[in-house]
């Protein structure tokens, strides 16, 4: 969560002739140098320190293969400067960083801006080849997005294509992603250029609220220790990120959706999963309790997933704390 938590800080040079005893301090010294390069116009303010700690740990483990995903918090204000600081520290020890990966936002624009920064650092600091760092782009790329990026102009060296390489529109893939929501009992959030990729932090419970006609109205997520929604109780359901989207719901039935089968620690009791047939039957039953307009093939009504008022406030509190603050001159 911060560079101070990195215990093993030493790194041998690429030829083994010397050892840097405190690689973390070396990275910080480079970060302070590039943050105020006049040619960059002071576009870097305070970067996210948990991201920097992750980059440093990665570089210490794989100094010959350092390629960083830079869009966790903010590409230009945090990800790229943090990457450059680590890459310059590696260069001091004879290593060459591989480059960066972009996985959200305007890929054409962000790649071009990152390339400008790389070229500026090469010119100002005198690190040969720094301007030619590899820029990789991903994020559900298909032929249409590739064509659009090409027409806009970009600085991407490598496109990572996964989902659309093995599926097609008629047989679409179900995209599932695991996001870290807590570490050492501390809630964590992932920010992104795309709001849809911002994660919802902390351990949660999830409930399905049913209306008087028997159909499910909305799912609501709450913090792990919040009280359960109750039948007949007026509940405020909020969109996780849009302040104006909210509604009161008075449920006729409440169903908890999440069940823990393994707490995640070795030696703890694991509960057996139901048989595959039972899981399938349960899925079919859940679909039968959806309103027909939610599951029609053409223009289905989006099903609402909300958060409690308390969880909404916490999401935005953590968001403001973790988002880097820009500095204008």
**pLDDT for position 171:** 67
Closest CA to 160 of 139, 181, 186: 139
Rounded to an integer, what distance in angstroms lies between the CA atom of residue 65 and that of residue 98?
6
Q: How many CB atoms lie within 10 A of CB 325?
A: 9
Distance CA 265, CA 269 (A): 9
Terminal Cα-to-Cα distance of the chain (whole angstroms): 30
Instruction: Read off the tokens for 8.
Output: 């093993």
Both structure tokens of 314: 């916490």
pLDDT of residue 197: 85
C-beta separation of 193 from 105 below 8 A: yes
Buried b (16+ CB within 10 A) or exposed e, 227-250: eebeeeeebebbebeeeeeeeebe
What is the SS3 assignment for 281-292? HHHHHHHHCCCH
Q: What is the pLDDT of residues 239-280, one digit of tens each?
A: 999 999 999 999 999 999 998 888 887 888 888 999 999 999
Q: For the sheet with 134-137, list strands across it.
A: 67-69, 99-102, 134-137, 158-159
Q: For the chain, list the domains and their CATH numbers.
A: 3-167 (3.20.20.70), 203-322 (3.20.140.10)
Question: What does the alpha-carbon distance between residue 180 and residue 107 come to, in Å, rounded to a whole number?
Answer: 24
Which of 218, 180, 184 minimizes the C-alpha distance to 199? 180
For the chain, residues with pLDDT lower than 70 are: 42-43, 168-171, 328-329
d(CA 43, CA 190): 22
- % pLDDT > 90, the chain: 71
User: Residue 169's pLDDT is what?
Assistant: 66
Strands 235-238 and 182-183: unpaired
Residue 164 confidence (pLDDT): 80
pLDDT digits (tens, 9 = 90+) for 164-202: 877 766 667 777 788 899 998 899 998 887 888 889 999
Based on DSSP, count helices (H) and strands (E) in the chain, helices before strands.
9, 14
The pTM (predicted TM-score) of the whole model is: 0.69
């Amino acid at each position: 969560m911060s560079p101070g938590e990195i215990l093993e800080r030493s790194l041998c040079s690429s030829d083994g002739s010397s050892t840097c005893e405190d690689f973390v301090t070396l990275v910080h010294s480079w970060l302070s140098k590039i943050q105020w390069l006049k040619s960059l116009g002071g576009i870097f303010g305070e970067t996210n320190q948990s991201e920097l700690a992750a980059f440093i740990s990665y570089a210490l483990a794989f100094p010959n293969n350092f390629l960083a995903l830079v869009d966790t918090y903010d590409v230009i204000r945090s990800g790229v400067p943090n990457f450059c600081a680590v890459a310059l520290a590696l260069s001091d020890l004879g290593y060459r960083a591989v480059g960066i990966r972009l996985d959200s936002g305007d890929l054409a624009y962000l790649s071009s801006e990152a390339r400008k920064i790389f070229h500026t650092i090469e010119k100002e600091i005198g690190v040969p080849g720094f301007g030619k760092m590899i820029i990789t782009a991903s994020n559900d790329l298909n032929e249409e997005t590739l064509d659009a990026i090409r027409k806009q102009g970009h600085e991407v060296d490598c496109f990572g294509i996964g989902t659309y390489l093995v599926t097609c529109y008629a047989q679409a893939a179900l995209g599932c992603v695991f996001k870290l929501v807590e570490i050492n009992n501390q809630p964590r959030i992932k920010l992104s250029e795309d709001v849809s990729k911002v994660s919802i932090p902390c351990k949660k419970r999830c409930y399905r609220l049913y209306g008087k006609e028997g159909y499910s109205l909305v799912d609501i997520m709450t913090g792990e220790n919040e009280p359960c929604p109750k039948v007949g109780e007026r509940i405020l359901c909020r969109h996780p990120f849009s302040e104006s989207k909210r509604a009161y719901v008075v449920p006729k039935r409440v169903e908890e959706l999440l069940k823990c089968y393994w707490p995640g620690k070795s030696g703890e009791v694991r509960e057996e999963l139901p048989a595959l047939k039972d899981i399938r039957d349960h899925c079919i039953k859940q679909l039968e309790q959806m309103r027909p307009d939610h599951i029609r093939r053409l223009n289905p009504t989006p099903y609402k997933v909300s958060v409690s008022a308390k969880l909404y406030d916490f999401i935005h509190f953590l968001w403001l704390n973790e988002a880097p603050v820009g500095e204008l001159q």
